[in-house]
Amino acid sequence: MPKDSASPPTSHDQNFKNLILDYPVQAIQLFSPQESEAITSEARIVPLRQEQLKERLGNRFRELDVPLLVEWPDGRREALLFVLEEESDPRRFSIHRLAHYCLDLAELCSTDRVVPVVIFLKTSSKEPRELVLGSERYQYLSFNYIRCALQELRAEDYWHSNNLIARLCLSLMSWRQDQKLEVYARAVRGLSTLEPDPEKQLKYLDFIDIYTALDDNEMELYQQKYPKESSTMANLSDRLRAEGMEKG
């Protein structure tokens, strides 16, 4: 749906925090595939900050990173701490700040098993990849992180993905301008088939709307070209909003 020009500024950090906390396993699989193979069905994922998720995406919240503690109750592996940070403006990214945050969390949680992950919504490809502190003689500290630049992923490669986060983030990936309506349709189709909860469907339809940003003409073309997807989500939206009014 087109965005209202009077709507509040988008809080990208909060939107992605909701996304990661709702689907932590799929977040780790998409944003840090190098480490995701270790996340078996026996693993338990615990957010370190138990803040309440908001009902809809759009309101302002304090910007936060998302630390996830992965535990294996049977003790087969030592707990692993994932630190996921969303960065919408690459010019604001500070590897020093990220390293400082990871060191603080490692000390707080008494662990050296920390996986830093940075999700770039936009990228200049010039973001620092590694931080090395030392002199001509020795390196005293070396720090790097897993980099996931969504713009560098091809949307077409995720057309049929069973990873819901990948489908929701299609519009943030690389695609041709003539694919915009298909990007939106594939995301909506993924949401309707991979998420059975109607409340979450409506919540993340907002997410798709925010990041695809169809204008009125594009929305009209979308409704003509993809009547099934359009009708399904429109009916869901109308039904849940009517229920909300009744409860109110």
What is the Cα–Cα distance from 114 to 121, expressed in whole angstroms?
Answer: 23
The percent of residues above 70 in pLDDT, for the chain, comes to 85
Cβ atoms of 88 and 123 within 8 Å: the answer is no
pLDDT digits (tens, 9 = 90+) for 213-234: 999 999 999 999 998 878 877 7
What is the Cα–Cα distance from 152 to 128, expressed in whole angstroms?
Answer: 16
Model confidence at 11, pLDDT cuts 50, 70, 90, reads confident
60 pLDDT exceeds 50? no
- Name, in order, each residue with C-beta under 8 angstroms of 213's C-beta and a sequence gap of 6 or more: 2, 3, 171
The 3-state DSSP class for residue 67 equals strand
Determine which helix (DSSP H) or strand (DSSP E) holds 140, and give its type and residue range.
strand 139-144
pLDDT digits (tens, 9 = 90+) for 135-171: 999 999 999 999 999 999 999 999 999 999 999 999 9
What are the Cα distances from residue 114, in Å, to 49, 102, 104, 183?
16, 7, 11, 34
In what order do the strands lie in the sheet containing 66-71? Answer: 44-47, 66-71, 80-87, 114-120, 146-149
Model confidence at 52, pLDDT cuts 50, 70, 90, reads very low
The 3-state DSSP class for residue 95 equals helix
Give the phi and the psi of residue 210 in degrees, each rounded to 5: -60, -45
Strand partners for 117: 84, 146
